Amino acid sequence: MCGIIGYTGTSNALPKMMKGLSVLEYRGYDSVGVAAQRGKETEIMKCKGRIGALEEKLRDHPIEGSHCAIGHTRWATHGGPSDENAHPHRAGEVILVHNGIIENYKELRAELADKGVAFLSETDTEVAAALINDCYAVSRDPIKAIRSATARMKGAFAFGILFDGHVGEVYVIRRGSPLILARGADGYYLASDMTALLPFTREYCAMKENEIARLAPDGVRIYLSDQTEVAPDWKTTTMTPESAQKGGYDHFMLKEIHEQPQAVVKSVSPRVGKTGLPDFSSDGIEADFWRGVKSIQIVACGSAMHAGLVGIRLIEDLAKVPTTVHIASEYRYHPPIMPDGTLVVVISQSGETADTLAALRYAKENGVPTLAIVNAVETTIAREADRRIYTYAGPEIAVATTKGYCTQASVLWMIAAAIAHATGRISDEKAREVVQSLLCDVPAAMEQMLSREDRYRKIARGLIDHEHVFYIGRGVDYALSMEAALKLKEISYIHCEAYAAGELKHGTISLIEPGTPVLAISTEKDLFDKTESNIREVRSRGAQVTLICRSDIPVHQETADELISLPVSSDAATVFSALLAIQCIAYETASLLGCDIDRPRNLAKSVTVE
């Protein structure tokens, strides 16, 4: 969840730390800090709050002349946001920044306290620093100390470590949490993800589990578990510095909403064969693989899980393959039956989501084939899954996902078509129709919806004075409603819940009172009459209703207070248009309330802890 960055080389380190931390703030922004070497001394500057608070401290107490430093922006786990709990942490001769959670920190802390170690914070990170320092006091070798200490740690971590006496050297190790090395013209870097490194270089190397790396001005060496030394496998990312900038938009979220039409094309087009049929051979997945799939279990968290709920309808309707969706954090504790022919599909924007990774490993341990749908290349989930499909959404900086969810849904739609076609459930003609719908109709419809800002803003004005909002829908629209409710509450802080429209009268309708906002989604024509009946039930009790509905359905004036009409060039175009509308309504509501849209309180982008 936290963000870490480091540098060693010939340039001034502090500007690089501050630039990288400003990019990494979406991973956590409860506190921030840096540790910078100046000769044989290392100075630590840290504080509660965002990077602006640290910049203010550095103006009063500048750190100059440093060519080696580490930095951290925190999402609080052990201990609340405070100066004391902020990273970096020093213990003796060790200074450390950390992303992850040390699960057995209490036992380790008690053991170290018995040895006379006094702790200044409530964090598990200080315990990790103290344990490494304890091991270092024995071996006087950074590599041996890190290896000995981490062998006793349970949990997930990515560490950036400085040792007194090792000038210009940064040591790193990861287990369960992401970490990337990079090579620039003026030195070497480490960071939690590539976006923080784009201002400096595009050449990177993804660290593997339990590898230790030593970064120095003269190069990088990687040490494997058996003490073998290897050189980094440097690669060049296709991401550009511009892709991680706002590009003139007020917020990253708004920029990413507007990038969705093109993101769908990027996700779908590599999976279209020369004859216009679904073709995943570029992902190493042939038609025979799809023919062997008898049931699917989709495992994910948050919005990715909501994309999976859309996927159920697509896969079962088109391919007639039984499909279930499971919350990743629950999957291992009540695992479903996995008969022969089961495929476990894990979905993760970051490729590092801890609960999803644990579910993936559980499936593999039980001999079940796995497929990962991820955006980030060279991530743990991408590497460990038997097969992987990249969504090609590009960097997503806003904490609340938009194009990540959108591209996941588009890939699931293509998978449904591929299975249906491979098993003969749909004809060539129908398969091409689905593909063309995603490639052409969906982007055009979404572009059309992007021009309705005034409409979304008007609806948002009707929400901002209410404590409670409800979304309702049937079928795939219930799945869309769940994502809509999450978007609204996570960035505007208005309590919002989604309900299957037919369930209202089984209890929830008791919450409806005069003026209560209810937003109804109707993309499935066959279900509109039923949904309209539910709308009339809430309207008769005074609800303020907004209807997001297909444009080819005649809607009586008394049905809704506000109406958003959706393009109907194809079923997919209608669904993705509704998706864009609910994102824009959430965005405009949060904007009118003056919320920090890109960095909602208490949230972080990449959930790398369980």
Cβ atoms within 10 Å, residue 461: 12
Task: Name the β-bridge partners of 496.
Answer: 469
Q: Read off φ and ψ for residue 285, nearest 5 degrees.
A: -120, 115
The residue among 58 and 408 whose pLDDT is bigger is 408
Residue for token digits 């997919």? Answer: 572
| Backbone region of residue 494 per phi and psi (left: phi > 0; alpha: psi in -120 to 50; beta: other values) | beta
Instruction: In whole angstroms, give the CA distance from residue 416 to residue 319.
Output: 6
> Sign of the C-alpha dihedral, residues 408, 410, 414, 417?
positive
pLDDT digits (tens, 9 = 90+) for 374-390: 998 878 899 899 999 99
Kindly list the structural domains of the chain, giving each domain's residue range(s) and its CATH number in brackets, ordered by start.
3-244 (3.60.20.10), 255-448 (3.40.50.10490), 453-592 (3.40.50.10490)
Please state the three-class secondary structure of 251-268 as a single string.
Answer: CHHHHHHHCHHHHHHHHH
Instruction: In whole angstroms, give the CA distance from residue 272 to residue 174.
Output: 37
Q: Read off φ and ψ for residue 230, nearest 5 degrees.
A: -135, 155
Secondary structure E strands in 331-414 = 342-348, 370-374, 387-390
Pick from 411, 143, 384: nearest CA to 270: 411
User: For the chain, what percent of residues have pLDDT higher than 70?
Assistant: 98
Pick from 129, 149, 24, 41: nearest CA to 85: 129
Mean pLDDT of the chain: 92
- Residue by residue, DSSP assigns 288-328 as HHHHT--EEEEEE-HHHHHHHHHHHHHIIIII---EEEEEH
pTM of this structure = 0.78
Grouping H, G, I as helix, E, B as strand and the rest as coil, residue 209 is coil
Residue 397 in this model has a pLDDT that exceeds 90:
no
Residue 30 in this model has a pLDDT that exceeds 90:
no
Q: Residue 272 gets which letter from DSSP?
A: B
pLDDT digits (tens, 9 = 90+) for 338-367: 999 999 999 999 888 889 999 999 999 999
Structure tokens at 482: 């769940």
Helix (H) or strand (E) holding 50: none
Task: Report pLDDT for 83.
Answer: 86
> Sign of the C-alpha dihedral, residues 28, 29, 31, 33?
positive
Pick from 57, 42, 119: nearest CA to 84: 119
The letter for the amino acid at 110 is A
CA 520: distance to chain centroid?
A: 27
- ∠ CA 248-253-255, nearest 5°, is 35
Task: Report pLDDT for 506.
Answer: 83
Residue 242 in this model has a pLDDT that exceeds 70:
no
pLDDT digits (tens, 9 = 90+) for 415-455: 999 999 999 999 999 999 999 999 999 999 999 999 999 99
Secondary structure E strands in 458-608 = 468-473, 495-500, 517-522, 544-550, 562-566
Average pLDDT score over residue span 292-311: 96
- Residue by residue, DSSP assigns 61-96 as S---S-SEEEEEEE--SSS-S-TTTSSPEEETTEEE
Instruction: In whole angstroms, give the CA distance from residue 320 to residue 477.
Output: 20
Buried b (16+ CB within 10 A) or exposed e, 525-552: eebbeebbebbebbbebebbbbbbbbee
Catalytic residues: 2, 605
Q: Read off φ and ψ for residue 564, nearest 5 degrees.
A: -115, 115
- How many CA atoms are closer than 13 Å to the CA of 265, on its beta-carbon side? 10
Pick from 15, 118, 5, 22: nearest CA to 64: 15
Residue 608 in this model has a pLDDT that exceeds 60:
no
The letter for the amino acid at 580 is L
Cis link prior to 88 (omega < 30° from 0)?
A: yes
Task: Report pLDDT for 158.
Answer: 92
Q: Residue 525 gets which letter from DSSP?
A: G
Q: Residue 276 gets which letter from DSSP?
A: S
Task: Name the β-bridge partners of 205.
Answer: 181
- Asked if residue 437 lies in contact with residue 429, where contact means CB atoms within 8 angstroms, the answer is no
How would residue 241 be classed by pLDDT, with cut points 50, 70 and 90? Answer: confident
Structure tokens at 261: 């039409």
pLDDT digits (tens, 9 = 90+) for 307-343: 999 999 999 999 999 999 999 999 988 888 899 999 9
Instruction: In whole angstroms, give the CA distance from residue 219 to residue 397.
Output: 30
The residue among 248 and 592 whose pLDDT is bigger is 592
Pairing of strands 295-300, 323-327: parallel
Pairing of strands 544-550, 517-522: parallel
Grouping H, G, I as helix, E, B as strand and the rest as coil, residue 349 is coil
Structure tokens at 40: 């044989």
Instruction: In whole angstroms, give the CA distance from residue 128 to residue 188.
Output: 24
Q: Read off φ and ψ for residue 492, nearest 5 degrees.
A: -110, -15
Structure tokens at 463: 């929400």
CA torsion 312→313→319→322, rounded to 10°?
40
Pick from 194, 192, 190, 189: nearest CA to 177: 192
Task: Report pLDDT for 61.
Answer: 87
